[in-house]
Amino acid sequence: MSELDEIGFGEEAALLKQQAGRLLAERMPIDRLHAMVAGHDANRSGPPPWDESLWREMVDLGWSALALPESAGGIEMPLTAIAGLMEEIGRAALPGPLLDTLAVSLVLAEVGDTAQPAMTALAGGDAASLAICDRYGAWRAEDLDVEYRDGLLNGRAWHVQELSRVQHFLVAARNGDGLSLFWVDASADGVQLERDDIVDLTRDQGRVVFRNVVAMPLTLQGQSALDAAFPAIWTLLASEMAGASEWLLQTTVEYACTRQQFDRPLGWFQAVKHPLVNLMIKIDETRSLVFEAACAMDDGAEEARDLAHMAKASACDTAAFAANRSVQLHGGIGFTWECFVHVYFKRLLHGRSLWGGAQWHRARLAERVIGPLAA
């Protein structure tokens, strides 16, 4: 594990973030991304396009192993550093299973010894995704559609991200009264992928159907492994959303500085300037909470879980506001594919509902801070 500097974001972390920013700007500038995803949207047949060779390169750089323990062949960077990287991923609206593979790593790290083979696969460069949600996107044992009985998985996991871009799924299933976790190959017998038709042009979402899939639990304490890992996962997603929101801010500011109406640049008008400032304030709120949450997790601080709820709640509100105002302030052009705002708009609306929306996170936070709601 690399040494933390005093403040929680060391030179290594700064270099990683810088490297990512440069690589993505060069390899997947928004006009290239747009050309790639726009082609697909017209007919919507087959999997949504992404740049798999860029992904391989990211794997070679070690990014997909950043959250794996060193003991499992991973890099085990501080979460602050990984969150910094995710901000750049968001800024580029990059399609691909990085967030999901990191999320799976974080859960596996909570599982213990039985997760070793799975971690080895990830350390070797495989990608994985969480297959843990019910049809409403929640992951409580009693609601899950997937059930484990007599050594077999049956049912359907919903809202699985990066469906056809990963080699493995970390599956949550009802097992008696509890929730157990399983490691299932995407190509295993009885596994079938059903693609969702989604609004977001950068993601690949769908359902994984299990029909008598032979499996062995990684852990019977699935709920507590998920609970332990999710604060870090929320934080990474929040960071990614902050990065995408920042792209919208900067792009809209740029447009407001050049676009002239009434012989003035748009940004001269307070009706444009002040909402942009409000957006900046919201983004900064999210970014600081992300950093604070990541620091708290790296430190093992008690407040970490609260901060993660705060970060994701903030990210959701920031994303909604960023998406809304950047289309509006672009005016007519923002309503078309002539500019690229819509790609981020859709990606942010997607991220907003993933793994809990703002209101859900605030309700969880309230339970912790105020105490439970009386029944």
Partner 1 sequence: MSQAQAAFSPEQEDFRTYCRQWLLDNPVGPAPAGMPSGPLEITQSEHMAHLQRWQKKAWEAGLIGCDYPVEYGGQGRQHCQEIANEEMSRAGFPFLPNIVGLGMAAPTILHHASEELKRELLPPIFSGEEIWCQGFSEPGAGSDLANVQATAERKGDKWIINGHKVWTSLAHFSRWMILLARTDRSDKYKGLTYFVAPMFADGITISPLVKITGESGFNEVFFENLEIDDRYRLDEVGTGWQVAMTTLLHERGASGLRTPEVIPQDQGDGGTVDARSLIELARTAQGDGGPAAQDPIYRDRLMQLLIRERAKSAHERRAQVPALQDHPQRLALQNKLLNSELVQDSAALALDMTGSTSTLAQGDANAPDGGLWPYAYMNSFGATIAAGTSEIQRNILGERVLGLPRSK
Which partner, a copy of itself, partner 1, none, binds residue 267 by CB below 5 to 8 Å per kind?
partner 1
Footprint on residues 276-305 left by partner 1 (CB under 8 A): 276-278, 280-281, 284-289, 291-292, 295, 298-299, 301
**Using an 8 Å Cβ cutoff, are 225 and 183 in contact?**
no
CA distance 174 to 156: 11
Contact call for residue 269 and a copy of itself (CB under 8 A): yes
| Region from 132-140, 217-225, 241-249, 266-274 binding a copy of itself, contact rule CB under 8 A | 266-274
Minimum distance, C-beta of residue 276 to a copy of itself, in the bound complex (Å)? 13
Contact call for residue 336 and partner 1 (CB under 8 A): yes
Contact call for residue 363 and a copy of itself (CB under 8 A): no
Footprint on residues 274-293 left by a copy of itself (CB under 8 A): 274
- Residue 187 or 270: which CB sits closer to a copy of itself? 270
**DSSP H helical ranges for 93-137:** 98-111, 116-123
Contact call for residue 265 and a copy of itself (CB under 8 A): no
CA distance 140 to 200: 26
**Using an 8 Å Cβ cutoff, are 196 and 190 in contact?**
no
The per-residue DSSP string of 22-72 comes to: HHHHHHS-HHHHHHHHHHHHHH--SSPP--HHHHHHHHHTTGGGTTS-GGG
- Residue 212 or 250: which CB sits closer to partner 1? 250
- Residue 42 or 375: which CB sits closer to a copy of itself? 375
C-beta atoms surrounding 37 within 10 Å: 19
Q: How far is CA 315 from the centre of its chain?
A: 11
Minimum distance, C-beta of residue 273 to a copy of itself, in the bound complex (Å)? 8
Q: Which of 63, 158, 210, 340 binds partner 1 (CB under 8 A)?
A: 158
Kindly write out the interface string for residues 299-328 of this chain, putting x where it contacts a copy of itself by CB under 8 A and - elsewhere: ------------------------------
| Region from 97-105, 210-218, 231-239, 265-273 binding a copy of itself, contact rule CB under 8 A | 265-273
CA distance 176 to 325: 47
- Residue 20 or 104: which CB sits closer to partner 1? 20
Distances (CA, A) of 65 to 52, 69, 104, 226, 350: 17, 8, 11, 19, 25
Q: How far is CA 188 from the centre of its chain?
A: 25
Tokens of 206: 């769908």
Footprint on residues 184-243 left by a copy of itself (CB under 8 A): none
Minimum distance, C-beta of residue 276 to partner 1, in the bound complex (Å)? 6
Secondary structure of residue 207 in the 3-state scheme: strand
For CA atoms 91, 355, 305, 183, the dihedral sign is: negative
| Region from 10-18, 47-55, 178-186, 229-237 binding partner 1, contact rule CB under 8 A | 10-18
Contact call for residue 271 and a copy of itself (CB under 8 A): yes
Which partner, a copy of itself, partner 1, none, binds residue 60 by CB below 5 to 8 Å per kind?
none
Contact call for residue 145 and partner 1 (CB under 8 A): no
Secondary structure of residue 302 in the 3-state scheme: coil
**Using an 8 Å Cβ cutoff, are 240 and 312 in contact?**
no
Nearest CA to 241 out of 101, 121, 357, 369 is that of: 357
Minimum distance, C-beta of residue 332 to a copy of itself, in the bound complex (Å)? 20
Minimum distance, C-beta of residue 127 to partner 1, in the bound complex (Å)? 20
Q: What is the DSSP letter of 291?
A: H
Contact call for residue 270 and a copy of itself (CB under 8 A): yes
- Residue 43 or 270: which CB sits closer to a copy of itself? 270
Residues that bind a copy of itself (CB under 8 A): 269-271, 274
